[in-house]
Amino acid sequence: MDGKSVKPNSCVHIHMYHGKDNALIPPDLMSEVEELKRSFYKALLDPDYREAFNLLVRAWCSEDTAMSLVLIPCVLDNMNLMANVHNKKCIEELGKRINDEILELERRMDELEKVVYEIFRNHESV
């Protein structure tokens, strides 16, 4: 590698690049992530985008092999990064809305069950 030891469970790019002596060198994915945290993450104003970015970092770390096998132009990388962060934010918002709707539906069902119970109870007493 590059002289640094790799910690267990750390994210490491495994795509190999040729160094000056033609040795294969795997670049460190975490150094890229740290750079994104210093530049891109700090520039994000929306806290939901920041949270989405953090979720993407977790996904990248769990899929470091796939991440290391893709070679695409830098501009496209940046465009996709922002699109992914935006999409992740939207997905999280939709998930929260769905959960809120489910809770509201459960509350309404409880109310309806009480009304039905009262109707049957009043009907039986007649």
Q: What three-state secondary structure class fits 13?
A: coil
pLDDT at 86: 86
CA triple 79-41-16, angle to 5 deg: 65
> By C-alpha distance, which of 54, 17, 48 is closest to 36?
54
Four-CA torsion 55, 58, 62, 66, nearest 10 degrees: 70
- pLDDT 10s digits, 4-42: 443 433 444 344 444 445 433 345 667 777 888 899 999
pTM (predicted TM-score): 0.48
- pLDDT 10s digits, 63-106: 666 666 666 666 557 668 878 888 999 999 999 999 999 999 99
CA 60, CA 30: separation in Å to the nearest integer? 10
Phi, psi of 47 (to 5 degrees): -60, -30
